[in-house]
Amino acid sequence: MGGGATKKATVVTDSIACLNRQQAEQYNVEIIPISFYAGGKIYRDWVDITPSEAYKLFLDDPDSFSTSAASPAECLQSFSKAAEKAENILCVTVSSKLSHVYDSALAAAELAKNELPGVNIKVMDSTMATSSEGMIALAAARAAFEGKSLEEMAQAAEAVMQKVNTYIFLDTIQHVYRSGRIPKIASQIGSMLNIKPILTVRGTVSFAGMARSRKKGIEHLLEIMREKAGSQPVRVAVTHAYAPEEAEALKEHIAKEFDCIEVWLSEFSPVMGYACGTGTIGFSFYTESRSQT
């Protein structure tokens, strides 16, 4: 993992952040695995199963799929692993309005005062989910690699939090009722009418548009980025649920059309994917001047 392992500060985030393994290893980010149930068994996202394997289970029996937030004990376990690398830890969690992970992490930080003496833990609610949460965690992790303090890491994360955007295109509205946003009957009718929604995340999940086809839906996503990013330098994360070839094509298109400082690819966590279904594709992005890189 290089010289970063000797840094005095590090980052913990949850698996909903959709970081890929290369990023987690490169920046020594510790991942809190979120549990889900499928086919009568419990799996830990990131640990016991890959997202692709999880989506196969989902397709076999979607009604058996359910999720559970990480417990304080599970968060504390991740803090303990992070404490082997650093004495200062910034924990970036999925939005507290979408999950109880933030509350569990706060409880774990209190437990850590006795369990991990000498370790300083700061817990931050990202107000986001999926790769936008991951981009916030990455900003903090990069600050840690630059030798910055815990407070400076939090400031770097906060700066990205204020400007990052997330847009997700769903191939079907059939499963969205699982999120609690709309009734099951509405999602069933929407599915029959072939309505494909575009969602955004800021605090909670909300509708940002809809399309009648995948081609139009993905073009709508690109129009949103054109409007918000324009010709400015941009950092982009493309995320998908069991649609790797299409996601790679979108990533390549974005790399060619926009002035990308970076563009990376990851899989949509099945913990949130259970409400979106397979075929989901989207991205997170924020603009940044070249002088900041």
Has residue 50 been placed in a domain?
no
| CATH number of the domain within which 79 lies | 3.40.50.10440
Say if residue 211 is in the same domain as residue 235. Answer: yes
- Beta sheet of 281-287, edge-to-edge order: 204-211, 196-202, 165-169, 281-287, 234-240, 260-267
Query: With b meaning 16 or more CB within 10 Å and e meaning fewer, what string describes 189-219?
Result: ebbeeeebbbbbbbeebeebbbbeeeeebbe
Domain that holds residue 101: 2-34+69-162
Last residue of a domain, one of 115, 142, 162: 162
Say if residue 8 is in the same domain as residue 135. Answer: yes
Contact at 8 Å (CB) between 129 and 95?
Answer: yes
Say if residue 6 is in the same domain as residue 81. Answer: yes
Q: What is the pLDDT along the chain (293 residues), one digit of tens a residue?
A: 344 444 599 999 999 999 999 999 999 999 999 999 988 899 999 899 989 889 888 888 877 888 888 999 999 999 999 999 999 999 999 999 999 999 999 999 999 999 999 999 999 999 999 999 999 999 999 999 999 999 999 999 999 999 999 999 998 765 554 555 444 534 444 454 567 889 899 998 888 988 989 999 999 999 999 999 999 999 999 999 999 999 999 999 999 999 999 999 999 998 876 767 788 999 999 999 866 65
Strand partners, 277: none
Contact at 8 Å (CB) between 122 and 90?
Answer: yes
> How far, in Å, CA of 151 to CA of 171, rounded?
40
Q: How many domains does the chain contain in total?
A: 2
CA proximity to 98, closest of 273, 267, 272, 266? 272
Say if residue 219 is in the same domain as residue 178. Answer: yes
Say if residue 261 is in the same domain as residue 280. Answer: yes
Last residue of a domain, one of 162, 185, 205: 162
Has residue 114 been placed in a domain?
yes
For residue 280, the number of C-alpha atoms closer than 13 Å in the C-beta half-sphere is 31
Q: Which residues, 6 or more positions from 248, have their beta carbon under 8 angstroms from its beta carbon?
A: 265
- What was the pLDDT predicted at 68? 85
- What was the pLDDT predicted at 39? 84
Task: Please give the structure tokens belonging to residue 274.
Answer: 């259970």
Last residue of a domain, one of 98, 131, 162: 162
Say if residue 182 is in the same domain as residue 147. Answer: no
